[in-house]
Amino acid sequence: MPKYADILLPLAQPTYTFAVEEDMALEAGMAVAVPFGNQRDKYYTGIVWKVHDTPPAVKRVKRVAHLLYGGRKLLDTAQQRLWEWVADYYLCTLGEVMRIALPSLLKPAALDAEAFTEAEYRPRTERFLRLCIQREEELHPIFEKLERRAPRQYAALLRLAELSREAGEEWIPRRLVEADSEVLNTLRKKGLLDWIERERSGDRKWLDRRGSRAFQLPLLSTHQQAALDQLHSAFEGHQTALLHGITGSGKTEIYIHLIAETLARGGDVLMLVPEIALTTQLVERLERIFASRVTPYHSKLTAERRTQTYLALSRSQGGEFIVGARSALFLPLKNLRLIIVDEEHDASYKQSDPAPRYHARDCAVAATRLIGCRTLLSSATPSLESWTHAQTGKYGLATLTERYGGTPLPEIICSDTLRSVKRGERKSHFNLELRERITRALERNEQVLLFQNRRGYSPFVQCNTCGHTPQCPHCNVTLSYHKASSRLECHYCGYHTPHSLECPKCHHEGLAPAGFGTEKLTEEIARLWPEKRTLRMDRDTVNSETAFRRTVTAFERGEADILVGTQMITKGFDFGRVSLVGILNADNLLFSPDFRSSERAYQLLSQVAGRAGRREQRGEVVLQCSDPGHPVIRRLLEGDYEAMARAELAERKAFQYPPYARLIRITMRHTDRELLHRAAVELGHTLRNSFGRRLLGPVTPAIDKIRDEYLVELLLKIESGASSQRARALLRQAISDFRSGGFKQVTIVCDVDPQ
Ligand code: ADP
Ligand code: ZN
């Protein structure tokens, strides 16, 4: 037996070495309880990373206390490689990966022995029954006898035999056998049946998952079939392929075919979606085909449910289908064959805080090497990174340029806000074009979707006497006005204060809302179309999956005519009666300082536009902005993604931005501005020694104070072709040296491939 084990703890640390008792058969991937700490030991959940015989260089080595979860492996070797890759690539510790990968109930930590035992997760169990006699010839006479003498026993036994045959399993959950305990007891005494207590599986319909009935797959159109064929051949030469299909082309139907093929071969499928709460409709659609084979996994589920799912998967033999948010990437799928990344361009695949600041799409691509699966990236407006890889042949490519059923893409009308104001045609936040079209759509009894990328009533208030704009005392941002709660709120730190008309600076009663958010928009709509019903969807009105589902269902049922919302309404929706989409103000998308702003604006606007007229009739989109000649708007009107991509890529190349360079953003934070700036200059100096002109900064970001801490940034640009591995190693070293120097108190955060 190996004498030592390197154990990973849910702390921002690498592994620690512990001694292992003679009789404890540890293997990598198992969970254990270990004592850890400086003065008084606390107990932690650890994962055995490696077992070996090399004594560590420390004097006193602590011992592993005991095994957890019956020695079950919480992850296998392939996943260990994935975790290691994430830690290495995103410049964090393995312990930080463990923190997000394991459901919270599986990693109690920092507890006294007693409290730890209390907190250890005990899987819920249930009773499983089995026929003791399996052979047909032997069973037959028994059944005959029971049928005459004990009909209730006969019924129970018969049911058990049937279920067992249907499921192709010996052990059947007790709850599926409708019989009194008394009857079952008698049967057990007679030696006809047997039972055990076994862990409950996370799934809802046990039988469904066992039975190997064939899935009813949708018939594909010729275009869809062609795209599926393209994908099949793409996957012959590539591990990763991109499906570029316009909105409404039926990409989901293509996934369904790939998923069914994979499941039929016993492989596991992982489908990642940008925000699971927003994909209620998608999950329901998949359930219609794959029934309870579909297992959702995301942060809005209860901890118990996530834990059950995690443990059930760690026992599974394959054939699992997970639909989940980015963290589902870390589920212990042992036979993962296919990952689908839906809307692969979506920025929410990147975790920005806390570490690991990973991008689930990029991890899915890395998984093709680490785990050996295939990855399908899919989007109507691919990220320029994926697009470039597909163009250069690094990824396979399939294209779908027709909408399903031949419905044309919506007509996009760009409405010039400045001109509308000049002509006196603008009423509240609506230009004449948009107002008229809304009225017409509503008259035809169709539904309207209105998109405004700001929640609250107004993004700031301003004094009309002195011009003062109240700011958050803890962050360098303006406070947003929320009318329903009559508060000014900070959208960064949550700070809020009652709203009053009196200006805190000049004391005149002059504070008035400026700009508009979804709350104000809803109010204006009620004024303009008083007889129509409006629903609002943003983080203030919809803050749980249930609330989200309720709003979606209400709108689907036609309980409202207009749906107003933020980004939330742009993703994954398929509303049959929406014929008009209004984008109230495209300016704030077009004119943001980010180097990705054009790409993002194009993606978001085409996604919102894609919500219009998805069934028989052609939809309309009215886009209000002050610069109709903006190149992004022109490309959007032409529906020319490729032209947008070409133009953007030319700029990225000229200025060395992704995909032509890799970025690592180093953010430094501290409450003392002076100290912070001195630290930043020094770190900048050190890094410049290794990186020369590849290092930019320090610069002060646009929002330079959050939660009372000042921020300064450095940016590392590593041209593609240079070794990013070497760059990461140098950076790691430089930061660790810096931390042990004079500026210990300054927080340093590295964000690899910042979004
Ligand atoms: P995308 O994800 O590409 O925007 P969807 O997959 O949502 O498009 O498909 C758009 C609509 O067309 C959906 O209502 C879908 O049910 C329907 N659809 C697409 N393909 C088929 C098909 N092969 N059979 C039946 N309906 C389809
Ligand atoms: Zn704040």
Tens of pLDDT, residues 544-563: 778 888 898 899 999 999 99
Lowest-confidence range among 168-182, 435-449, 456-470, 671-685? 168-182
The model's pTM is 0.90
As a whole number, the mean pLDDT across the chain is 90
Written as one string, the DSSP assignment of 659-676 is: TSEEEEEEEEEES-HHHH
Task: Please state, in angstroms and rounded to a whole number, the distance separating the CA atoms of residues 466 and 190.
Answer: 92
Q: Is the pLDDT of residue 650 over 60?
A: yes
Residues with CB under 6 A from ligand 1: 218-221, 224, 245, 247-253, 404, 574, 614
**Nearest atom of ligand 1 to the alpha carbon of 576:** 14
Q: Is the pLDDT of residue 211 over 60?
A: no
pLDDT confidence of residue 238: 96
Burial per residue of 390-424, b for 16 or more beta-carbon CB atoms within 10 angstroms, e otherwise: beeeebbbbebebbbeebebbebebbbbeebeeee
Instruction: Summarize the confidence of residues 580-587 as an average pLDDT.
Output: 93
Phi-psi region for residue 71, left (φ > 0), alpha (ψ -120 to 50) or beta?
A: left
**Nearest atom of ligand 1 to the alpha carbon of 224:** 23
Q: Is the pLDDT of residue 664 over 90?
A: yes
CA-based diameter of the chain, in Å? 98
- Cis peptide bond prior to 274, omega within 30° of 0: no
Ligand number nearest to the C-alpha of 489? 2
Going by alpha carbons, the residue nearest to atom 15 of ligand 1 is: 250
Backbone torsions φ then ψ of 161, nearest 5 degrees: -65, -40
Q: Is the pLDDT of residue 207 over 60?
A: no
Lowest-confidence range among 120-134, 204-218, 303-317, 636-650? 204-218
Per-residue pLDDT band at 206 (split at 50, 70, 90):
low
pLDDT confidence of residue 205: 53
Going by alpha carbons, the residue nearest to atom 16 of ligand 1 is: 250
755 neighbors 359 (Cβ within 8 angstroms): yes
Written as one string, the DSSP assignment of 677-689 is: HHHHHHHHHHHHH
pLDDT confidence of residue 372: 93
pLDDT confidence of residue 503: 92
DSSP 8-state assignment for residue 261: H
Question: What angle (nearest 5°) sits at the alpha carbon of residue 225, between those of residues 336 and 609?
Answer: 90
Residue 656: burial class (beta carbons within 10 Å; 0-12, 13-18, 19+): middle
Residue 316 tokens read as: 């599974």
Instruction: Summarize the confidence of residues 81-101 as an average pLDDT.
Output: 96
Tens of pLDDT, residues 462-518: 998 898 999 999 999 999 999 999 999 999 999 999 999 999 899 999 899 988 999
Q: What percent of the chain has pLDDT over 70?
A: 97
Q: How far is the CA of 302 from the centre of ligand 2 (A)?
A: 30
Task: Please state, in angstroms and rounded to a whole number, the distance separating the CA atoms of residues 82 and 354.
Answer: 18
**Nearest atom of ligand 1 to the alpha carbon of 246:** 3
Q: Is the pLDDT of residue 572 over 70?
A: no
Q: How far is the CA of 251 from the centre of ligand 1 (A)?
A: 7
Task: Please state, in angstroms and rounded to a whole number, the distance separating the CA atoms of residues 496 and 458.
Answer: 14
Of 271, 240, 232, which is closest to residue 372 (Cα–Cα)?
240
Question: What angle (nearest 5°) sits at the alpha carbon of residue 215, between those of residues 214 and 218?
Answer: 140
Q: How far is the CA of 489 from the centre of ligand 2 (A)?
A: 8
Spatial neighbors of 41 by CB under 8 A, at least 6 apart, are 35, 62
460 neighbors 514 (Cβ within 8 angstroms): yes
Going by alpha carbons, the residue nearest to atom 17 of ligand 1 is: 250
Rg (CA), the chain: 30
Task: Please state, in angstroms and rounded to a whole number, the distance separating the CA atoms of residues 379 and 374.
Answer: 17
477 neighbors 484 (Cβ within 8 angstroms): no
Per-residue pLDDT band at 107 (split at 50, 70, 90):
very high
Residue 42 tokens read as: 């606390």
Q: Is the pLDDT of residue 236 over 80?
A: yes
Tens of pLDDT, residues 26-39: 999 999 999 998 77
Q: Where are the beta strands (DSSP E) in 428-532?
A: 447-451, 460-463, 480-482, 487-489, 496-498, 511-514
Q: How far is the CA of 468 from the centre of ligand 2 (A)?
A: 17
Q: Is the pLDDT of residue 322 over 80?
A: yes
Q: Select from 242, 253, 283, 403 the residue to mutate for testing ligand 1; criterion: most ligand atoms less than 8 Å from CB.
A: 253
pLDDT confidence of residue 615: 67
Task: Please state, in angstroms and rounded to a whole number, the distance separating the CA atoms of residues 591 and 597.
Answer: 7
- Between 688 and 140, the more confident residue is 688
Q: Is the pLDDT of residue 176 over 90?
A: no
Q: What percent of the chain has pLDDT over 90?
A: 63
Phi-psi region for residue 639, left (φ > 0), alpha (ψ -120 to 50) or beta?
A: left
Tens of pLDDT, residues 384-438: 999 999 999 999 999 999 988 888 888 999 999 999 999 999 998 999 999 999 9
